[in-house]
Amino acid sequence: MRERAQRSREPGGPRPATLDDLLPRVARGDEVAFEQLYRHLSAPIFGLVQRVLRDPAQSEEVAQEVFIELWRSATRYSPDRGSVQSWAMTIAHRKAVDRVRSAQASSDRDTRAARAETARPFDEVTEVVAGRMEREQVRRCLGTLTDLQRESVMLAYYQGYTYREVAHLLDSPLGTVKTRLRDGLIRLRDCMGVTA
C-alpha cells in the first residue's frame, strides 16, 4: 500500500526504493534519496497535518517543518523504535499538535481564524487514490469501536485535543477517557492486524 501511496505528481521520476532503503541514504545526506522519501511521505504527512490544522497555509508551513526535521534527524532514526513511516508520521502529528497548542497558548485563535478565512481556498485537496484502501479499512475498523471510544480517539488524534480536553468535551471523567483511548486503539490495532 505504501508503494502506491506515493503517486504525487511532483517531483517526478522513477521510484525504485522503499522507505527502509531510503532512510540510511538520507542520513548520509543524499538529496536524491530525500526527494524519493518526500514522494513516499508527502501525501500522508500533508494530509495528516491538514486534517489537524485545517488551515491550508499553516498546514503547508507545518508540513515543511516536518520534512526539514526528517532531513535533520534522519541520522538519528533507529529501526528498533518503529518503522520509518511511523517515525515520520509521529513527528508530523506532534508538530501539528504543537502548533495547535502553541496557538492556544498565545491566545492566537482570533488571528488564526482570520487567517483561515482569508487564506486562498484550497483547490488541491485531491484525495490520493492510494490512500483509499487505508481509508476503507480505517472506516471499517472505527466502526467496530463503541461510540465513546471512537469519539475519544478521533477528537484526540484528528483534532489534536489533550485527553483532558476530550474529557471536558465529552463530559466524562478523566480516567474513563484514558481507558477509552487505550481500549479504542487496542481494538483498532486488532481489527487492522497491526504488529510492531
Partner 1 sequence: MNNDVHTLTGAYVLDALSEMERRAFEDHMAGCPACHQEVAELRETTVRLGTAAAAVPPPQLWHKVHAAIGNTRQLPPFSVNEPARLRSKRRASRVAVFAAAASILAAAGLGVGWMVTNNDLQDELAQSQTELSRLQALLSAPDSKVVKGDLQGGGTATAVLSPSRNAMVTMLRDAPPLSGTSVYQLWYVRDDGPPVPAGSLASSNGAIPSNDLTPAQGATKLAISVEPAAGATAPGPNIVAAISLV
Grid coordinates 474513563 are at which residue? 176
**CA distance readout (Å), 136 to 121, 132, 133, 183:** 27, 6, 5, 21
Q: Could you give the CA distance from residue 48 to residue 62 in angstroms, rounded to a whole number?
A: 11
Closer residue to partner 1 (CB): 21 or 31: 31
Question: In terms of CB distance, is 18 or 64 closer to partner 1?
Answer: 64
If one counts every other C-beta atom within 10 angstroms of the C-beta of residue 7, the result is 12
Q: How far is the CB of 16 from partner 1 (least distance, A)?
A: 19
Which of 83, 172 has the CB closer to partner 1? 83
Provide, rounded to whole angstroms, the least separation between the CB of residue 110 and partner 1: 20
C-alpha 122/C-alpha 128 separation (Å) is 15
Helix (H) or strand (E) run with residue 186 in it: helix 174-192
Q: How far is the CB of 141 from partner 1 (least distance, A)?
A: 8
22 vs 74 by CB, closer to partner 1: 74
Sequence length of the chain is 196
Query: Taking the complex as a whole, how short is the minimal distance between the CB of residue 86 and partner 1, in angstroms?
Result: 5
